[in-house]
């Protein structure tokens, strides 16, 4: 992102880091250069279901319920479905 802002490159290879997205979009000059489009990324948490405590379905369900999915979406600037 820094190289893009300095004019050294035209396209950031990995896009705009989520932590910097709001900052970039708040700057009218930078925002004008942003092209938004669909991007596929899948993130997930894995559990070894053959070992305790994750061999217990109730524990796996509790972990699922403990994850604040709305907060995760918010952390990536509401760019998730």
15 and 44 in a common domain: no
pLDDT number for residue 31: 86
Residue located via tokens 């300095």: 6
pLDDT number for residue 32: 85
Please state the domain count of the chain.
Answer: 2
44 and 30 in a common domain: no
DSSP state of 3: H
Residue-wise pLDDT tens for the chain (81 aa)? 788 778 888 877 777 887 888 888 898 988 888 877 766 677 788 999 999 999 999 999 999 999 998 888 887 777 666
pLDDT number for residue 19: 82
The SS3 assignment for 80 reads coil
Residue 27's domain comprises 1-35
pTM recorded for the entire structure: 0.49
54 and 25 in a common domain: no
């Amino acid at each position: 992102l820094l190289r893009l802002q300095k004019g050294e490159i035209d396209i950031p290879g990995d896009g705009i880091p989520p932590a910097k997205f709001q900052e970039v979009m708040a700057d009218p000059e930078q925002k004008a250069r942003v092209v938004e489009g669909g991007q596929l990324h899948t993130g997930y948490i894995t559990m070894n279901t053959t070992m305790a405590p994750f061999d217990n379905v109730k524990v796996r369900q509790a972990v699922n319920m403990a994850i604040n999915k709305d907060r995760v979406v918010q952390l990536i600037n509401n760019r998730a479905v």
